[in-house]
Structure 1
Amino acid sequence: MTETSSAPASAPVSASVFTPKSRVRAFFEAWPPLILLALAWIAAMLLLAAFGDLVAPADYMAMDLRARLAPPVGMGGDWAHPLGTDELGRDVLSRLIASIRISLTIAFLATLVSAVLGVSLGFLAAYFRGKAEQAILMLVDAQAAMPFMIIALAVLAFLGNSLTLFTLLMGFYGWERIARIARGLAIAAQEQGYASAARDLGASPWRVYGRHILPNIASTLLVSMTLNFPEVILLESGLSFLGLGVQPPETSLGAMVGYGRDYIQSAPWIMLAPSAAIVLTTLCISLIGDWLRDILDPTLS
C-alpha cells in the first residue's frame, strides 16, 4: 500500500499591497500634504507672475481718487476691488500681482547670481588650493562677518538705485555659504574614482568640474539655493520697506507694506495682503527646501 503525499498548498498572495488605500497611503508618504500645499502655493505664485496681467482687474498704476481707501470684499467693499484700494485709489489686487512678479523675479535672478558666484569661487578654491584658496576663504569670512543689510544700505545710498543695480546687489547675498559648500564637496569629489578617472583620461579641469563634479553635487547646491531664495525675498522686502529697494512707479511686496504702514489703523488691508504673501511664500519655499534636503541628502536616510 503506497501513501500519496500531497504538497502543501501555497499561501495565498496578499492583495492588500495593491489596494487603493495602500496606493493613497504610499502617495502621501512620498508627497506629504503640507508639501503638496506648499507646491500648490508656489505654483500659484509663478502663474500669477507669468500671467498676472490676464487676471488683474485693473492697471496697477491706475489711480481713482473717488475710490480712495475702498474696503475689500467682506469688509463692506464690492467685487470691483476685491482686496480694496490704497491711498491713491489704486487696486490692491492688481498691485499685489505686479508686486509678486517683481519680487519673485528679483529673488530668482539674485539667487542665480549668488549660486554662480559661490560655485565658481568654491571650485577655484578647491582646484588651486594654497594661497588662492586662502584668499578666497578670507573673502568668504569677510563677507560672513559683515551684516549684509548695512552693506546694502551703504551701496544704495552712495550709488543710487535702479532695478538692475538692486538685483545685482541682492545677488551678493548668501554666496559665501554656497562657496563653502561647493569647495567642500569639490574637494571630496576629487578624491573619488570618477573624478580621478576623468583626469587620467586627459579631461581638462573645465570638463572635470563642469561635466563630472558639478552634476554629482548639484542636489546639495539646489537645496542650498532653495534656502537662500526666501532670505532674498525677506531682504528685498526689508529694503523696499525702508524706501531703498524698488522705486516708484514700480512696486514690490516690501514697497506695498511700506506704503501701507501709515494706514495700518484706517486701512489695514493695504499692507495685510502683501504681508501675507511674503509670509506664505517664504514659508512654503523653506518647507520645500527642507523636504528636498531630506530626500536628496543620503546621510539623512
Structure 2
Amino acid sequence: MSGIALPIGLVDGRKRRRRWPLLVLAAMAWLGLMLGIAVLADAVAPYAYTALDLRNRLAAPGATWLHPLGTDELGRDVLSRLIFSIRMSLLIAFGATIIGALIGTALGVLAAHFRGFVEQVVMALVDFSASLPFLILALAVLAFFGNSLTLFICLLGLHAWERYARIARGLVISAGAQGYAAAVRQLGASPWRIYGRHVLPNIASTLIVSMTLAFPEIILLESGLSFLGLGVQPPETSLGAMVGYGREYLTRAPWILLSPAVVIVLTTFSVSVLGDWLRDRLDPTLH
C-alpha cells in the first residue's frame, strides 16, 4: 500500500482541505486570548478594578509605566478594569446564549413532535415574543424585580429564543420526513433516541450558526443596557459599563471608551468568523 502513488491533483486537494484559513486562526487565537483573560483575570490584572490612584487621574496611555492603558476619571487602571470587564461580559454572553438556545430548541422540538395544539401554543408564544420590544420587557422586569447578575443573565437569555424555536421546529419537521428518521422509528427507537442520536446531530450545525449570531447580539445588548445604567451595576464592571462611563470623557480621555469598544468589535467579529467556518465544516450537505 505504501508504494501506491496518489494523483498530484488529489494530494493537493487534500492539503487544501486540511489548511485552515488565516482569518479563522486569528479569530480562534483572539477568542482563546479572551477566554484565558476571563479565567485568569485575578492573576493577570495588575490592580483591583476598584483601586484608586487619585494622583494619576485621566492619565493618558504611556504617560506612566504604572498604567499602560491609562486611567479613568477616578484614577482606576483602565487595563485592570478591561480585564475584569472581559470576564463579566463573556460570562453574561455565554450564559444568556446557552439559556436562549436550550429554551428555544426544546420548545421547537416539542412543537415539531406533538404538532396540533402544542404546536399552536408554542408558535403563539414565538409570535408574541417576537412582537414584544425587548427593551421594554427588560425595563419592566428590572424595575419590578430589581437588578441582579443572575436575573440579568436569565433576562438576556430570553432574547431571540424564538429564533431557535422556529429553526428547530422547521429542521425537525424536515428531518422527520426524511428516510433515516422514519427508518429508525420503524425499528422501534424511542423519541428520545430519535431526536437525541439522529435528528439533533444533523441539525446542530444550523443551531450553532444561530448561536454564533446571537452571541455578539447579546454582547451588544448587554453593552447597550449597561450604557443606559440597566445592566451591570457598580462596583462591578463590564465592557458596556466601561463604554457608558467613558462617553462623558470622550473628548478629554478617549482611551477610557476606545479600549472596551475595540474589544467588543474584535470579539463579536471573531465569533461570527468562527461560527461561519464551523457551519461549513459541520454541515453534511456541503461535503
Regarding TM over 0.5, the answer is yes
Number of the residue aligned with 2:43 = 54
The alignment's C-alpha RMSD in Å is 2.2
Q: 1:122 and 2:108 equivalent?
A: yes
Question: In structure 1, which of residues 66, 71, 93 is the aligned counterpart of residue 60 of structure 2?
Answer: 71
Pick the structure with greater CA Rg. Answer: 1
SS of 1:203's equivalent in the other structure is coil
Tell me the matched-pair count: 283
Number of the residue aligned with 2:238 = 252
TM-superposed CA distance for 1:203, in Å, is 2.7
CA distances 1:47-71 after superposition (whole Å, capped 9, x unpaired): 1111122221111111121121111
Q: 1:26 and 2:20 equivalent?
A: no
SS of 1:63's equivalent in the other structure is coil
Partner amino acid, structure 1, of 2:280: D
Distance 1:15 1:114, change over 3 A: closer
CA distances 1:141-193 after superposition (whole Å, capped 9, x unpaired): 11112221222122212221100000000100111111111111111121233
Distance 1:13 1:48 in 2: 45
Structure 1: give runs of 5+ residues left out of the alignment.
1-11
Normalization by structure 2: what TM-score? 0.91
Partner amino acid, structure 1, of 2:223: S
Distance 1:298 1:161, change over 3 A: same
Q: In the TM superposition, what are the counterparts of 1:1-301 in structure 2 within 5 Å?
A: 26=16, 30-73=19-62, 77-299=63-285
TM-superposed CA distance for 1:43, in Å, is 1.0
SS of 1:181's equivalent in the other structure is helix
Following TM superposition, the consecutive aligned residue runs of length 4 or more in structure 1 with deviations greater than 4 angstroms are: 12-18, 22-25, 298-301
Partner amino acid, structure 2, of 1:261: R
Distance 1:277 1:202, change over 3 A: same
Distance 2:259 2:13 in 1: 38
SS of 2:40's equivalent in the other structure is helix
Normalization by structure 1: what TM-score? 0.87
Deviates more, 1:225-234 or 1:55-64: 55-64
Distance 1:261 1:169 in 2: 26
SS of 2:91's equivalent in the other structure is helix
Percent of pairs with identical residues? 65
Distance 1:125 1:13, change over 3 A: closer
Distance 2:36 2:140 in 1: 35
Number of the residue aligned with 1:8 = none
TM-superposed CA distance for 1:15, in Å, is 6.6
CA distances 1:85-141 after superposition (whole Å, capped 9, x unpaired): 111111100100100001001100101000110111001100110111011111111
CA distances 1:252-274 after superposition (whole Å, capped 9, x unpaired): 00000111111111111111100
Distance 1:148 1:30 in 2: 42
Distance 1:137 1:181 in 2: 12
Number of the residue aligned with 1:9 = none
Partner amino acid, structure 1, of 2:183: A
